[in-house]
Amino acid sequence: MTPFEFLTTLLSIVFIDLILAGDNAIVIGMAAKRLPKDTQKKAILYGTVGAVVLRIVATVLVVYLLEIPWLLVAGGLMLLWIAYKLLVQEEDHGNVKAGNTLWGSVWTIVVADAAMGLDNVIAVAGAAHGHTLLVVIGLIISIPIVVWGSTLFIKLLTKFPWIIYAGSAVLAYTAAKMVTHEPVWQEWFEANQAVKWLVIAIAVAAVLGAGLWTNEWKKKHPTAAHE
């Protein structure tokens, strides 16, 4: 991997982490909201660090699992679905309970993040292309942003909705590359670059198109969308 490829892949991992960090920020805030202000900071820090360490371990395991035949295809298709859901899903966080103690809140943050972190794990593992170092560096860079910058980033997403679409496009691109890198047919795709990039373009266009159509449909049928 060239230095340029290393840097661009690292940036993709950090961007994916940020795009998928909105729910994590909500979970962190809800889990720690009952604690005193000074204890809240400790709960957020400890909980986030614990969650990220667990996610690093999970992502590294998935990186190795993706070397099993056809799992790249399965992971890529799953990531395409995640990219689509990112655009249209209305998350419900009612089952995240606020903790009454420091370690109770920390435990809530870690467990909730682990339950909700499948999208991050698959996306980051796919973007890393087997490079464990990239996974670790990318997630470590994301820690301070998630802890201290989540609120700001959520405001940016609200003000500039196109960021979500950009993030979904990156996820769809990553998913399509996972599929075309499946060892069973990777050599064929490498020999037919035009087809490879056509597949990637179709995947990105399909996800964005489906997301836009679903969102427009929800606007026209608000009652049916919430049933």
DSSP states of 134-197 as a string?
A: HHHHHHHHHHHHHHHHHHHHHHHHHH-THHHHHHHHHHHHHHHHHHHT-HHHHHHHHH-HHHHH
Residue pLDDT, tens place only, 145-199: 666 655 565 566 667 778 778 878 888 888 888 888 888 898 999 999 999 999 9
Instruction: Please say if the pLDDT value at position 214 is more than 70.
Output: yes
Residue pLDDT, tens place only, 115-140: 556 667 777 777 777 777 887 787 77
94-104 burial code (b ≥16 CB/10 A, e <16): eebeebeebeb
Say which residue, 158 or 91, is predicted with more confidence.
Answer: 158
The pTM for the full model equals: 0.67
Q: Using the 8-state DSSP alphabet, how is residue 2 labeled?
A: -
Residue pLDDT, tens place only, 60-87: 888 787 778 887 788 788 888 878 887 8
Structural domain including 33 reads 3-225
Q: How many domains does the chain have?
A: 1
- State residue 128's pLDDT score: 77
Say which residue, 143 or 176, is predicted with more confidence.
Answer: 176
Mean pLDDT comparison of 17-21, 149-153, 184-188, 200-204, highest-scoring range: 200-204
Instruction: Please say if the pLDDT value at position 209 is more than 70.
Output: yes
